[in-house]
Structure 1
């Protein structure tokens, strides 16, 4: 492990200095930069990012602001932070047609598996932040893999201390965003109950529908210094949930939160705009067309990440005609188990093939909505039919496939619900007695585990009437206790905190830490380890190892 560095020191890197200084100050380096004929102006206000790592390749991203036409950028990849050992040089285009973003797929024999590299972009006017990435480890690697995951970062609702905490680490192989990277709405109704902590003036008072408005939204989020630091520090892969387009939409069916009178464009156009802006402003290879693909696989050695798309191919949700945050009418089993797809046939087939053929010990399924059931009354009324509870037949099909094929060590990582959960996954999402298959229990034995990593800033139920840490804990306690009492499959529930999670995958076990922010509405609030869990290889049961552990956390690098 390398020495951790302060996030502000890291992301500043070479930013804001001349090319001569950025390239080491040598005359030959500066002359080389001049010969490349890179652009003469522009700034890198949204920083840099990397993503889609493989053993010998990486995707790099930046955006050039303050220019009016496409511009050529130079970039370098080096083995050291000082760029004294440059291994790859090249050019990229900050494309006006893509909001002046630049996307580069660096695939070169100079890159080697499991190695740390540094990168930057530059013009004649100056250099970007310095970014860092690690290439993927080979399939036979026995080294521990660390994957951070997060979701739900509504800009006006809180600050990004969780990203600052994550940026301070240097041992993360991959960061996964599980959706709701941006919020398409202004949430004026929420603001009446939960006052915003900072403004969002993108689009129409925060509501975005056109392509320029979505671009404005992403540019606002990506200028946040803590998010910018995290994006520079680690490779990032992102999948969308609903708020990248419209709350609770399903394929071509609009969500219920936007009234027809409030539409400035059709839902179909809004969806195209949201998808295009997503690809433009995240470190993914650009895709064109009306149905871009975000699902896929990221092999990392001991772990392989399976990225899902649970919006673009799904049928409409049952039991919730208004598309509110919870089911709004009775949802008995016959409605939950009606023929309905969340994944679509092609994606589901590729997921099954990938799980059965994976050489990794741990199959980590990056999943937007909860697989495990949450029942709110003893009569098995699901809380949220937008999640897998509304697609119970397909959940049963997938978990039965895992069982029948003898696929071990599958874990789902999940966002969406703004709460920390951990639990065991059965074919029905439920259990009569936790961890036990009685033979007569139609739920069956656990076949996978699930970890739900809270939210970076987006509010939950208790945030509507509780502000301070003691108030939130007191308000959350009865809800969390009721969830655990009614749902034996759930090991842990905590609605009081915001934060993210870190998964550590080794050959013998899987460990997950929940990292929590004491108060996401306070930009100076600290971050601590809320809970730690373990899953033994070959035994899909979540073991709660306890917490919390306040900062400074001696078990983890803290930066500084």
Structure 2
């Protein structure tokens, strides 16, 4: 991380007070605030969400925005604090309420709240709702994680990523919500920063104003882009059906950025200011705990999720700490330099320690970019993408070495980014197809990015030319997984179109099973 002299001033420059950050998380519960009850009608248009479940707690989220597309980024709310009350119940009718509380929606955080509800029972389903003034929110469904030593028979989870609103309807989210998984892992590119113009507005039946026709750079613009994205009814349904565990990739800030390095030549000082407001808007719109509160251009997003004795999940951040991309992408180029890192020293040390300590049946990484080696030269040569783990081969080798050194038998990587459904074995030596398989990678396609897509495209020969790649499909979709102590079953779900409407049916293009103790993908359908 570049240490700029102005870093200490970023929190003040972005206008967030410590009080606003604390009160928005619902703590302390007895704080006295000037919040009033006079709230504009219909303030819950961006829905509700929950996330980051622990055995006795979960974080809830909503943002008050009666006019979500107001161009000033305040969603039609008055510039004052508002008290927001929440209830958590064991039943959808709220006849058995187990927790009530209050958080403060402040204009400093776009009237979003992130109350962390404690004192819940492990491994249980709950329902929640909010009230502001006389207005009641939609009901959300969530659940807590099992206790650390609990035996767990089954976990269902979904993978999603890459939702460029302007490229099409979020049909994948409609089907994902209908599945009602226990968890959703969102693996990056929640928004896209590009200007929305006639040339890229492929989602039919909608119009946007001129404020959306500029590249997103300011806090107001980031807020507006999140609000536009979250007006999609299927995204709101997916958030309301299960707790989300979210991480970002590049488009939450700028395409292909790396730490303080902008792909478009913005100075590090100016780019970190942009990153500061982008990170703030990200926090404002996702169900994240106070441990992820942004401090200017810094935001701790990597974290660990445990699911009883069944699974340990390490949520990674491969953007904030990575080295700038090298210029040489050939086999022995700069990307092989051992000093290069996609994780940064501190995060890599944290991950290695987690791999050493993990005693769950399954160990997973929820992260952004493809980890498997992908040779993009279909001839005798070799060339790689520097934006993926191929640009940081020594860092990948160190992670794989830790997996083998600490006996991590059931290693699974969950990835997004490429707008394609891909399944791949992870090899001890990618240059030797007969080398040991140490894990598997499930790469989810996009929800919206790149429009309709097709079963195959011009990139298919590149990807399938790598013998460890078992699936390539270029349609939009998600992945639905069922995890048991014996096996991981991954159903790759696709829809045939998203541009003209949101009515496309869903189908399973492939099903892969990985048996516990036997690394590698076995195709069943």
TM-score of the pair, normalised by structure 1? 0.80
- 8 A contact 2:173–2:238 mirrored in 1: yes
Q: Are 1:354 and 2:334 an aligned pair? A: no
- 8 A contact 2:479–2:492 mirrored in 1: yes
- 8 A contact 1:431–1:488 mirrored in 2: no
State the Cα deviation string for residues 492-526 of structure 1 (Å, max 9, x = none): 1112x101112221111111111111112132111
Per the alignment, in what secondary structure is the counterpart of residue 348 of structure 1? helix
The residue number in structure 1 matching 2:272 is 268
Q: Are 1:41 and 2:39 an aligned pair? A: yes
Q: Are 1:297 and 2:297 an aligned pair? A: no
State the Cα deviation string for residues 341-368 of structure 1 (Å, max 9, x = none): 0001110111111122123211110110
The residue number in structure 1 matching 2:69 is none
CA drift at 1:289: 1.2
Residue of structure 1 aligned with 2:463, choices 442, 466, 483: 483
Q: Are 1:316 and 2:314 an aligned pair? A: no
- 8 A contact 1:431–1:487 mirrored in 2: no
Q: Residues of 2 paired with 1:156 and 1:220: CA distance?
A: 10
Long gaps (5+) in structure 2: 1-33, 66-75
CA 1:202/1:535 → structure 2, altered by over 3 Å: closer, same or farther? farther
Alignment of 1:381-396 (within 5 A): 381-396=382-397
The residue number in structure 2 matching 1:166 is 176
Q: Residues of 2 paired with 1:332 and 1:112: CA distance?
A: 52
Q: Residues of 1 paired with 2:186 and 2:221: CA distance?
A: 22
CA 1:238/1:330 → structure 2, altered by over 3 Å: closer, same or farther? closer
Q: Residues of 2 paired with 1:201 and 1:494: CA distance?
A: 34
- 8 A contact 2:421–2:473 mirrored in 1: yes
- 8 A contact 2:35–2:104 mirrored in 1: no
Alignment of 1:212-361 (within 5 A): 212-256=220-264, 266-286=270-290, 287-290=293-296, 291-301=298-308, 302-319=310-327, 330-338=329-337, 339-361=339-361
- 8 A contact 1:373–1:382 mirrored in 2: no
Alignment of 1:1-16 (within 5 A): none
State the Cα deviation string for residues 69-97 of structure 1 (Å, max 9, x = none): 21001110001111111111111111111
RMSD: 2.1
Per the alignment, in what secondary structure is the counterpart of residue 213 of structure 1? helix
CA 1:331/1:187 → structure 2, altered by over 3 Å: closer, same or farther? farther
Per the alignment, in what secondary structure is the counterpart of residue 333 of structure 1? coil
- 8 A contact 2:331–2:382 mirrored in 1: yes
State the Cα deviation string for residues 414-455 of structure 1 (Å, max 9, x = none): 000111111111245x2433xx32xxxxxxx12111000111
State the Cα deviation string for residues 238-265 of structure 1 (Å, max 9, x = none): 1110000000010010023xx76xx9x9
Q: Are 1:455 and 2:446 an aligned pair? A: yes
State the Cα deviation string for residues 2-28 of structure 1 (Å, max 9, x = none): xxxxxxxxxxxxxxxxxxxxxxxxxxx
- 8 A contact 2:166–2:201 mirrored in 1: no
Per the alignment, in what secondary structure is the counterpart of residue 168 of structure 1? helix
Q: Residues of 1 paired with 2:77 and 2:104: CA distance?
A: 12
- 8 A contact 1:318–1:331 mirrored in 2: no
Alignment of 1:410-421 (within 5 A): 410-421=411-422
CA 1:87/1:540 → structure 2, altered by over 3 Å: closer, same or farther? same
CA 1:457/1:204 → structure 2, altered by over 3 Å: closer, same or farther? closer
The residue number in structure 2 matching 1:507 is 485
CA drift at 1:483: 2.5
CA 1:212/1:393 → structure 2, altered by over 3 Å: closer, same or farther? same
| Alignment size in residue pairs | 469
Per the alignment, in what secondary structure is the counterpart of residue 449 of structure 2? coil
Q: Are 1:67 and 2:77 an aligned pair? A: yes
- 8 A contact 1:203–1:209 mirrored in 2: no
CA 1:201/1:241 → structure 2, altered by over 3 Å: closer, same or farther? farther
The residue number in structure 2 matching 1:545 is 524
- 8 A contact 2:61–2:112 mirrored in 1: yes
State the Cα deviation string for residues 303-333 of structure 1 (Å, max 9, x = none): 22210000111101123xxxxxxxxx65232
Q: Residues of 1 paired with 2:210 and 2:260: CA distance?
A: 25
TM-score of the pair, normalised by structure 2? 0.85
CA drift at 1:194: 7.5
Alignment of 1:414-453 (within 5 A): 414-428=415-429, 430-433=430-433, 436-437=434-435, 445-453=436-444
The residue number in structure 1 matching 2:96 is 85
- 8 A contact 1:164–1:230 mirrored in 2: yes
Q: Are 1:143 and 2:153 an aligned pair? A: yes
- 8 A contact 1:424–1:490 mirrored in 2: yes
4+ residue segments displaced more than 3 Å: 191-204
Q: Residues of 2 paired with 1:535 and 1:364: CA distance?
A: 13
Q: Are 1:397 and 2:398 an aligned pair? A: yes
State the Cα deviation string for residues 532-556 of structure 1 (Å, max 9, x = none): 101111121111112xxxxxxxxxx
CA drift at 1:67: 2.6
CA 1:493/1:288 → structure 2, altered by over 3 Å: closer, same or farther? closer
Q: Residues of 1 paired with 2:77 and 2:462: CA distance?
A: 55
- 8 A contact 1:242–1:311 mirrored in 2: yes
CA drift at 1:38: 6.3
Greater Cα shift, 197-206 or 140-149 = 197-206
The residue number in structure 1 matching 2:113 is 102
State the Cα deviation string for residues 355-408 of structure 1 (Å, max 9, x = none): 221232111101100011111224453341100000001111110121122111
